[in-house]
Chain A
């Protein structure tokens, strides 16, 4: 039996702190759908997704009603298309993407991830074609998300792929210029990409994960922010250890709720429960911001000195609480700082307190990276590649996941805004220091070798 104080504290999390489950993502193995005939391949994909994921949304809604906990997003992730698409050409890949888009719509999910390639040590011809198809795929579909793993701590950084992606990102932005370069918001470039990440745009189902796997993203940052605010109000002499403890306790609770629902959903759709991603994923809504957590911790202006330490402490406390709560923790499990998707971060960028350099520093202690960062539309491809290379280096050297979602917004200059609305939010265009000055390095191509400490055999 639970104590009344515990019951009331849990009730408060639902009534006042907007506790929810941020995403339930069903990973589907599609390797058995493969056919050299694109129409057959497409048909197999649609049939399999409708068969395996047809009940995902109704089951999530039933369980959500039963427990009284909202499941905010229901999504799909598939095996990395780049590894299974064989000799299919770019028009064929586009056809597959549209089939997946249709299948995702028919089962009622808002996004599908896995139009992905794993090219950390080298790129196969099929993966190169998939990457080249991305501008068209991402600008002509609604739900398809793509991710490319260009680096691992074990393999190093594939600079050829990064160089290619700089140009691809430019093309994707131009093809979706009427939407502010929105196609780029659905493309993540990773170092050490996790195979069980439930969050978009980087979700895909890794090989060896199983046939149908449910991965869950825990509640958003609002719960943590309000817990900190309450603690501060109750304890004027608060110290950072107390703060860390409160964050840990909150993370414990939200993780347990996520696991409870995730297991129920997995059972309801006859899938395996994969794990919980502890990442605090913000949305542009007020009260749902990682930036607001940092403000509650005492960093008035995001980007001010202390921001990196605050993010580090937040990230660590969330992980400690979550790891104690569940033995199935995976994904990226950290605090996201996606500028466009977090209104406080976006405002800090507009005010100039948050720069790309400071963001980069913050990403060295949290996940994921330079996420939803809007840059001037005239940024050259080499500079985009160099930004990616910097972020990948942080991941590779620190043995952690990092990523970029860089969006060169056509026609926009630093300080101007782009508005997408919905979950993708709005952002000012952030200035890049010394653009065009990195070509000599990135154009060398090849591979940045794996760091010495990666050799562990």
Chain B
């Protein structure tokens, strides 16, 4: 598309049936073309993040206003950020790893681990946390699962050791493993190249 502007758009509002159709329809009516979209429901909230291109001249404010009208049951939290560069940002360079943490829920687990990961330039691609109430007499337990990109050359064993050491005084177990392991153990093998040449 020539003479276009690309916007990164995020919308959060209370979930109900039909929201995806309404929001994507609004983008279409504004003349936008959706290139990337990620949607889920978290804790009862509808969360959608998308990247779309519009003809130059369609302002961020116009997109914002167009989307506001869709949610007739409340006020959605909307963010429309223009992207100056013409291309979709590349995925992080490195190998895909999975972080799994589980244990007693106390404040600080998230920040402690993610700060340590950042020190190694490990990018968090996605992170999900769940907390399970164990009853009035027991402490709550949490589980965090994250997808990470670990740059080539990072000593993964060293990172594992550091995370384990960091959490040693908490009742938390942490695992950092290459995503190939999870693909291998959870998918039916197909005659494809990536089994031969894992990244």
A residues near B (Cβ < 8 Å) are 1-4, 6-11, 13-15, 65-69, 252-253, 256-257, 259-260, 263-264, 324-327
Contacts and interface: CB of A to CB of B under 8 A. Distances in A.
A325 B189 contact: yes
A257 B128 CA distance: 25
Nearest to B95: A66
B183 A2 contact: yes
B181 A257 contact: yes
Contacts of A257: 181, 184-185
B184 A68 contact: no
B186 interface: yes
Interface of B: 98, 100, 102, 128, 130, 143, 145, 147, 156-157, 160, 173, 175-189, 195-196, 198
Contact of A2 (B175, B178, B186, B198): B186
Contacts of A66: 156-157, 178
A1 to B, nearest CB: 8
A11 B100 contact: yes
A7 B145 contact: yes
Nearest to B98: A7
B3 to A, nearest CB: 35
A85 to B, nearest CB: 37
Nearest to B158: A65
Contact of B177 (A68, A253, A264, A324): A68
Contacts of A14: 175, 177
A4 B173 CA distance: 16
Nearest to B180: A260
Contact of B196 (A2, A263, A327): A263
Contacts of A3: 186
Nearest to B173: A15
Contacts of B147: 1
Contacts of B189: 256, 325-327
Given A2-B183, A2-B186, A7-B182, A260 B198 contact: yes
Residue picked from A256, A257, A263, most chain B C-beta under 10 Å? A256
Contacts of A6: 182, 185-186
A253 to B, nearest CB: 4
A68 B160 contact: yes
A199 to B, nearest CB: 22
Contacts of A324: 188
Nearest 6 A/B pairs, CB to CB: A256-B184, A6-B186, A65-B157, A253-B185, A2-B182, A11-B100
A68 B176 contact: yes
Contacts of A327: 189
B145 A4 contact: yes
A228 to B, nearest CB: 18
Contact of A67 (B181, B186, B195, B196): B181
B160 to A, nearest CB: 7
A9 to B, nearest CB: 8
A11 B178 contact: no
A65 B156 contact: yes
A69 B182 contact: no
B184 A260 contact: yes
B151 to A, nearest CB: 13
Contacts of A69: 181
B185 A256 contact: yes
Contacts of B143: 4, 8
